[in-house]
Chain A
Amino acid sequence: MLIDFNSEKPIYLQLAEAIEDNILKGIFEEEFQIVSTTEISVKYKINPATAGKGVNVLVDEGILYKKRGLGMFVSTGAKKKILEKRRNSFYKDYVQSLLEEAAKLNISKEDIIKMIVGGSEIEDNSDKGSK
């Protein structure tokens, strides 16, 4: 889990996403306990309220649940929920910014598709002029 303190994204959201990533990767398994908010806040030197807020985002979404006196656990079906959520925002989160960057570099949609299919770099077409 990495937190970028210079990122535009608030720390608590980055934390929630980092926990989700770990669930997707199977590092945090369903029905197993995750690290406590204290451990998180100490490790990243962040205010415990910030860590708590990040964890609560996932509790509200039903991805984590609280066991009284024990701590935070990963819900059954959490992985599926995260997958659905991330798939729904995939276009906005990744494709849109890909297209924006491609437009800046004067890379056509066809070239992008070629890259995705072929997995190779495009030919230099800077002579087409980008201004």
Chain B
Amino acid sequence: MKTIQIKGVSKVYGHTKALDKVDITIESNRIYGLLGRNGAGKTTLLNLMTNRIFPTEGEILIDGETVFENDRVLSNIFYMTEQNLYPEDERVRNIYKWIKEFYPSFDMEYAKDLSERFGLDTKKRVKNLSTGYASIFKAIAALASNADIVLFDEPVLGLDANHRDMFYKELISNYSERSKTIIISTHLIEEVAPVIEEAIIIKEGKLILKQSVEELLSGAYIVSGEASKVDKYIQGRKCIGIDTIGSFKSATVLEAVNNKDETLAEELELEFGKAELQKLFISLTN
């Protein structure tokens, strides 16, 4: 139970098309990054995958079975929402027990251990948690869920640098120990880039790209140097994200790294650099 098929899914709210005929196949046992600007439809897609809302058209299947009102399938997906959906007045440790009711494979010992390591006081009530600890609490619940598919919506919102570091490390070790399908929706692209295997980029409700991060990055590079010489180099090449500072220019060239013209660059005294996922993202979603 791990492969997710999103087939021709649209979601319309009144006059707004939040998702427009999206087709994505999410392979099992991989870590995906779901990237998109605010309002691109990321959360809508996650909500649809977990049957919280229903598609206007199309269907979502997990290992061939519809998620629509299918409790057996849904009990294998854990969704860490960005908003808190747990009872505000309840204590964290009681919510762990409550989650265990819905997700029998929830690992209570691991949740307690993680809470201790992150310094989360499980006696606290949900409403008294800071933004960072509210994220930590929800992330711990997701990590300990032991579900085959785990969806994270902005998992590190409000976390300090130390806790973000701990979270990514724990995520990777958790994933290595027990293979699962993970989708992380986030705006922190550079931070998540080395962690994810594939990027899914959506824009205005449409899927614009689903590709391995390594492939994506090997299909572009940065060239920089004196402006007119850079212009000479990029002539006839597809470019994005051109930055000029005085007479210095840098451009991201959309061409395989292996095809770059080293001889010409040397002649023009240009330098090459690695393309950034964030830059590619910005140009793709602009």
Residues of A whose CB lies within 8 Å of any CB of B are: 5-8, 10-12, 37-38, 41-50, 100, 104
Q: Could you tell me the distance between the alpha carbons of A11 and B31 in the complex, rounded to whole angstroms? A: 17
Q: Is residue B195 contacting chain A, with contact meaning CB distance below 8 A? A: yes
Query: Which B residues between 153 and 182 are near A, CB-CB below 8 angstroms?
Result: 165, 168-169, 172-173, 175-177
Tell me the smallest distance from the CB of B227 to a CB of chain A, in Å.
Answer: 18
A45 & B175 in contact (Cβ 8 Å cutoff): no
Cβ–Cβ < 8 Å partners of A11 in chain B: 194
Instruction: Please judge, given known A-B contacts A8-B257, A100-B266, whether A47 and B196 are in contact too, CB under 8 Å.
Output: yes
Known: A45-B165, A47-B194. 5 other contacts (CB 8 A): A8-B273, A42-B176, A45-B172, A47-B31, A100-B266
B173 touches A42 (CB 8 A): yes
- What 1/0 mask marks residues of chain B from 18 to 35 whose CB sits below 8 Å from any chain A CB? 000000000000110000
Contact present for B221 and A45 (CB under 8 Å): no
State whether the Cβ of B81 lies closer than 8 Å to any Cβ in chain A: no
Chain B residue, CB-CB nearest to A5: B194
Q: Is the CB of A48 within 8 A of B274?
A: no
Please, how many angstroms separate the alpha-carbon atoms of A45 and B194 in the complex?
Answer: 7
Q: Given that A8-B257, A100-B266 are contacting pairs, would A45 and B195 also be in contact in the complex, using a CB cutoff of 8 Å?
A: yes
Bound form: Cα–Cα A33–B194 in Å: 25
- Scan B215-235; emit 1 where CB is below 8 A from any A CB, else 0: 001100100000000000000
B197 at interface by CB-CB < 8 Å: yes
Shortest beta-carbon distance, A127 to chain B, in Å?
22
Give CA–CA (A10, B214) in the complex, Å.
8
CB proximity of B87 to chain A, nearest CB, Å: 33
**Do B168 and A45 touch across chains, with their CB atoms under 8 A apart?**
yes
CB pair A47 B195 closer than 8 Å: yes
Which 6 interchain pairs have the tightest Cβ spacing?
A38-B176, A8-B274, A45-B168, A46-B194, A42-B173, A47-B197
Sampled A-B contacts (8; CB under 8 Å)? A5-B193, A6-B273, A10-B217, A10-B218, A38-B176, A43-B169, A46-B194, A47-B172
CB contact under 8 A between A48 and B218, given known A6-B274, A8-B274, A42-B169: no
- Bound-state CA distance A45–B269 (Å) is 35
Q: Is the CB of B195 within 8 A of A46?
A: yes
Select the residue from B31, B196, B214, B221 with max chain A CB neighbours within 10 A.
B214
A50→B274 CA distance, assembly (Å):
17
Known contacts A8-B272, A8-B274; A44/B194 CB under 8 A: yes
Please measure, in the bound complex, the distance between the C-alpha atom of A100 and the C-alpha atom of B221, giving whole angstroms. Answer: 21
Give the Cβ gap from B141 to chain A, nearest Cβ, in Å. Answer: 21
Interchain nearest-CB distance for B162 vs A (Å): 13
Q: Are A48 and B221 in contact (CB under 8 A)?
A: no
Residues of B near A8 (CB, < 8 A) are: 221, 257, 272-274
Q: State how many angstroms separate the Cβ of A93 from the closest Cβ of chain B.
A: 14
Query: B residues within 8 A CB of A48?
Result: 172, 175-176
CA distance A33 to B247 in the complex (A): 53
**List of B residues within 8 angstroms of A38 by Cβ:** 172-173, 176-177
**8 Å CB interface, B177-194 against A:** 177, 193-194
Q: Which residues of A contact B257 (CB under 8 A)?
A: 8
Q: In the complex, A6 Cα to B275 Cα: how many Å?
A: 9
Instruction: A83 to B148: give the CA distance in the assembly, Å.
Output: 44
Q: Is the CB of B165 within 8 A of A41?
A: no
Q: How far is the CB of B279 from chain A (nearest CB, A)?
A: 12
Most buried by B among A8, A47, A100: A47
CA distance A11 to B195 in the complex (A): 11
Nearest Cβ on chain B to A56's Cβ, whole angstroms: 14
Complex interface residues of chain B between 238 and 286 (CB less than 8 A to chain A): 257, 266, 269, 272-274
> A39 CB to closest chain B CB, in angstroms?
9
- Docked Cα-Cα span, A22 to B189, in Å, equals 31
- Bound-state Cα–Cα, A10 to B193, Å: 12
